[in-house]
Structure 1
Amino acid sequence: MSEFLGSIWWLIVAIGVLVTFHEFGHYWIARRSGVKVLRFSVGFGKPLWMRRGKDGTEYVIAAIPLGGYVKMLDEREFTVPPALQPQAFNRQPVWKRIAIVAAGPIANLILCVALFWAMFVVGRADYAPVVGHATGIAASAGLRQGDTILAVGDRQTPTWSEAVMALIPAALDHADTTVRVRTDSGSEATRELHLSDLPATFDERRAVEVMGLTPRYMLVPPLVGRVAPDTPAWGVLAEGDRITAIDGQPVTAWDDIGPRVQALGEHGGPAMIEVERKGDRLALEIAPARMKHAQTGQEYWGLGVAAAMPPEPAKDAVLRYGPIAAIPAAFRESVHQTQELFAMIGRAFTGRVSVQNTVAGPITIARAANMSAQNGAAWFLQMLAMLSLSLGILNLLPIPILDGGHLLYYLIELVKGSPVSERAMAAGQYVGLALIAGLMGLAFYNDIMNNLVR
C-alpha cells in the first residue's frame, strides 16, 4: 500500500474509532436518561449503510468519514407529538442534559485510558535510551557515549522515545532538569542539563538535537562505502573497511572520523589509520588533504571516503507491562499526557512555542497514523490514545457548537434558574463557528507549511 493510500486508510480508521466511541457516549447516556435517539451516524452526508433498530433508532455509516452525530428527539427542531414529548431532549432536567452532553468527551477520556492499557500490554518496541554522542549542553552536563538514560526529572525513561518526550517539555520551557544515567561502568549518576542555556528560539522539532544528544541507534557505523579517485584514501582504503582508529584515537561511529581527520590535518604529516578488512586488522599510512565541500564551497581536511549507509537498526527495547500492572500505568500515562496537553496549550498562547508545531491538520494526522501503523500495533494504539485524549479535551472547551459550549449554557441555566435565551445561543453559535473555522484554517495552513511546502 502506498504512503498516500495508507495515510487515508489509517486516518479513516482512527477517526472512525474515535468518533464511534464519542457518539456512543452521548447515545448510551441519552437512552438511559429516557431520551429518544432518532439517528446514530458515523460520518456525514449520504448514508452508505443504514439499519433501523427495534427502538426506531437509525444506525448509519455515512459517506464523509470526518465526524459523526447523535440526533435526538427535540422540540426545537421539529414538532413532537404529545405522546413523545417526555422523551424529547429539551424536556429533560438540566442535570440530565449535562450528563448526555458530557458523556461524549468522557467516553473519549475512558477510551484513552483503555488504549494506553492495550499499548502497555501489547508492548511498544523501541530503542534503548543509550547516548550515542553528546555535544554542547549535553556534554557540558557530563553525558557521555554509552550512558543509559534512566530518568529525566521524576519520569522514568525505559526507551529512547520516553526520554525524548520527557526532555522536550523541559527544553521548550528552558528549564534546567536532572537526568539520571547508568554509565558504561554500571554505576548510576545524576547529571544537570542546563536547558536555560538553549537559544531563545530554536526548531522545537529538533529540541533534543539542539541540546546535543544523539541516540546510539542513529549512529552510522564507520564502514567505508565509497572511495573517491585521486584522494588520499584511493588505493589505501577499500569499500567495506571498518575504520577502528585514526592516529591512535579510537573510532566507534562515522561521526568520530571527521574530528579525528581534522586534528590529523592540523597536526600535519601522515599517520596510521587502523581498519578491519575481511577479518584482518590492518594499519595503513595516510595523510589527509585539503578538500572543498561541493555545496558550500567550504574547505576542510578530508580523506575522500563516504559512509556505507546501513539498514535501519533493529529495535532493542520494549515498553511493556502485565495486564494488571498496565492498569495503573495507563491511568498515570493519561494524567501525564493531559498535563502535557494543557501545558502545550499554555505555551502556544504565551508564544513560547510556535502554533505551527502545536495545531495539526488532517494531513499531518493522516501521515502520523500511517507511520504509527507501520511501526506496529502498540504505536498505533498510542497514537489513538493521544488523539482520543485531545478530542475529549477539545470538546470540553467552553466554545459554542462544541460539547463544552453546551455545558456552559447549562451551567448558566443552573445559576440563573432559566435557560439561556435563543438570541444569546444564536450569537454564541456564530462566535463558535468563527472560532472553529479559524482553528481549522490554522490547521490546514500548518499542514501546507509542514507537509506540502518543502
Structure 2
Amino acid sequence: MADFFGSVWWMIVSLGLLVTFHEFGHYWVARRCGIKVLRFSVGFGRPLWMRRNRAGTEFAIAAIPLGGYVKMLDEREVDVPAAERHLAFNHKTVWQRIAVVAAGPAANLLLCIALLWAMFVLGKQDYSATIGRTTGMAQAAGLQAGDRVLAVDGRRVATAAEASMALTTAAMDGHDARLDVLDSLDQARTRSLPLSQLPAGFDERRVAPLAGLAWQFWLQPAEVDTIQPGAAAQGVLLPGDLIVAVDGQRIDGADQVATQVQALGQRGGPGMIEVLRAGERLALEITPRQGRDGRGQPTWQIGVGFPEQHAPAYDTQLKFGPLAAIPAALGETARMAGDSLGMMRRIVTGNASLQNISGPVTIARVANISAKRGLDWFLYFLALLSLSLCIINLLPIPILDGGHLLYYLIELVKGSPLSERAMAAGQYVGLALLAGLMGLAFYNDILGLVPR
C-alpha cells in the first residue's frame, strides 16, 4: 500500500513539474508575441486553485494531474472584440504561431539538459558494465566473468544499463554485436556476440540473460545468513561465510548454490565446500542430506539461507565539474533522443514489440523506484520523461503540438491556412490515434502487473 501511494505521489510530482515547464514555454513565447493568454492550467477538469494576474490570465491547478493547457484568445473559439483582435492567436503570423507551438517541446528539451547537468554535477551512482557470469552464446563467444564492456558496436558504454540498451538494439535489428572489453588482467579484447541467433519472438526486455550474460551487480553474493538446526551445514559453516565453490565448481552467486548442492547429492558421498571466512579461504567437507523443497519435492540440501533483500553496492559514478557537465549533459541528451527515436522507428517497422509502449502506471512505478534510489536517479528519470514528452508532442498527430506544426508547414507551402473542415477532420483522426495509443499503453501497463 505504501508503494501504491508513493507511486501516485511521485507521478503527480513528476508530471506536474514537467507539464508546468511545457505549458510555460507556450505561455512565455505567446506573451512575447503579443498574444493574450486566457488561462494557464496544470491539470484538466475542475480547478482546485485559481488566481488571475494583471494581464487577465487565469492560473489554475485542476483536479486531473495528467496534463495541462494554455488557452489563448482565438476567434475560432470565442467572440473577440474588435479592439482585441490584434491580441488573438489566429491573427498572428504563421512564424509566430509556429514559435508558440514549438516552445512547449523546446521547454521540455531545455529542462532535460538542465536536469542532466544537475545530475552530473551531483554525481550519479550506477553499476559498471562488468560481467559476473557467462553461459550459452556469451560463454561460447569467449566472454568471461570479470570482463568489463567498454563499447558495443563502437558505441562507448559507461554502465550496465547503457550496454544492455545497446545489446537490445542490436538484437532487435537482427545482427551480431561487437563488444570491446577489458578483461580481469586489464587486457583489451574484442568479442562477437551472435545475437542474430536469438529465437524469433524473443523477449526484448531480457536480451542480456538470453544471450548468457549476467551483469556482476545482478549476482547476490553467496554469503550465509542462516543455518537450519540439525542441517548438514551445522558445525561446518558459520553465518557470514562466503561460499565460493561447491565440489570444485565455482560459485559466482547465491542462485548457483542449490544447483551445485543437488549435483553433489546425486553424486553421493561427501564433497568439499570452499568459503571465505575472515579473509581466509577454507575448504570444508560437507555431505548434503535429502529433504523437500517448498513444493514438497525431494531435493538435496545443506540447510543454509541467504539474505532475502539484496541491495548491490554501486561500483561506478558519473560525475563532472559544472563546466564539464555541460557537454556531458548535451551528449547524454543526444544519446537518449537517438535511442527513443530509434525505438519508435523499430516499433513502426515491426522490429520492436508494441510492449515497449508504456503508460501512466509504468511512469508511476518507475517514478517511485527512482525517488527511492536517490536524487541522482530521480533527476535522471525526470530528464528522460521530459525528453519523452518533447518527442511525443512533436509527433505529427493532430491535437498534439506536432500536428499543429504540420498544419502551419502546409500553410507555408500553400500560402493560405487549411480550411476549418480539414483541421476538424484532422482533430478526429488525432483523437482516434491518441486514444489507440493510450489504450495500448494502459493494456501494457496492466499486463506488466500480472505475475508471470
- TM-score normalised by L of structure 2: 0.91
Alignment of 1:13-28 (within 5 A): 13-28=13-28
Answer whether contact 2:182 2:189 (CA < 8 A) is retained. yes
Answer whether contact 2:233 2:304 (CA < 8 A) is retained. no
Distance in 1 separating the partners of 2:184 and 2:234: 37
Alignment of 1:378-393 (within 5 A): 378-393=376-391
Distance in 1 separating the partners of 2:338 and 2:242: 47
CA offsets per residue over residues 100-136 of structure 1, 9 Å max, x none?
1111112212222222222222211112322111111
Aligned equivalent of 1:317: 316
How big is the shift at 1:225? Answer: 4.1
Distance in 2 separating the partners of 1:194 and 1:252: 24
Aligned equivalent of 2:340: 341
Answer whether contact 1:22 1:107 (CA < 8 A) is retained. yes
Answer whether contact 1:363 1:451 (CA < 8 A) is retained. no
Distance in 2 separating the partners of 1:24 and 1:275: 60
Answer whether contact 2:220 2:310 (CA < 8 A) is retained. no
Closer/same/farther in 2, CA of residues 277 and 421 from structure 1, 3 Å limit: closer
Letter in 2 for 1:446: N
Closer/same/farther in 2, CA of residues 276 and 177 from structure 1, 3 Å limit: closer
Answer whether contact 1:159 1:318 (CA < 8 A) is retained. no
Aligned equivalent of 1:64: 64
Answer whether contact 1:16 1:65 (CA < 8 A) is retained. yes
Closer/same/farther in 2, CA of residues 402 and 246 from structure 1, 3 Å limit: closer
Answer whether contact 2:254 2:306 (CA < 8 A) is retained. no
Aligned equivalent of 1:177: 177
Closer/same/farther in 2, CA of residues 286 and 195 from structure 1, 3 Å limit: same
Letter in 1 for 2:57: T
Distance in 2 separating the partners of 1:340 and 1:278: 46
Aligned equivalent of 1:401: 399
Q: Secondary structure at the match of 1:224?
A: coil
How big is the shift at 1:11? Answer: 0.7
Letter in 2 for 1:148: R
Q: Secondary structure at the match of 2:425?
A: helix
Aligned equivalent of 2:360: 362
Closer/same/farther in 2, CA of residues 384 and 273 from structure 1, 3 Å limit: closer
Answer whether contact 1:222 1:307 (CA < 8 A) is retained. no
Distance in 2 separating the partners of 1:259 and 1:69: 57
Aligned equivalent of 1:12: 12
Point out where structure 1 has 5 or more consecutive residues left out of the alignment: none
Answer whether contact 1:180 1:190 (CA < 8 A) is retained. yes
Q: After superposing the two structures, state which structure 1 stretch, 316-325 or 367-376, moved more.
A: 316-325
Q: Secondary structure at the match of 2:69?
A: strand
Number of aligned residue pairs: give it: 451
Distance in 2 separating the partners of 1:280 and 1:187: 28
Answer whether contact 2:227 2:233 (CA < 8 A) is retained. yes
Letter in 2 for 1:440: M
The answer on 1:29 being equivalent to 2:29 is yes
Identity of aligned residues (%): 58
How big is the shift at 1:354? Answer: 2.1
Distance in 1 separating the partners of 2:450 and 2:266: 44
- TM-score normalised by L of structure 1: 0.91
Answer whether contact 1:133 1:144 (CA < 8 A) is retained. yes
The answer on 1:39 being equivalent to 2:39 is yes
Letter in 1 for 2:434: I
Distance in 2 separating the partners of 1:367 and 1:169: 24
CA offsets per residue over residues 255-295 of structure 1, 9 Å max, x none?
45456546645655433333456787654433456777554
How big is the shift at 1:450? Answer: 0.9
Alignment of 1:125-144 (within 5 A): 125-144=125-144
How big is the shift at 1:97? Answer: 1.2
Closer/same/farther in 2, CA of residues 314 and 281 from structure 1, 3 Å limit: closer
How big is the shift at 1:343? Answer: 1.4
Letter in 1 for 2:75: E
How big is the shift at 1:404? Answer: 1.3
Point out where structure 2 has 5 or more consecutive residues left out of the alignment: none
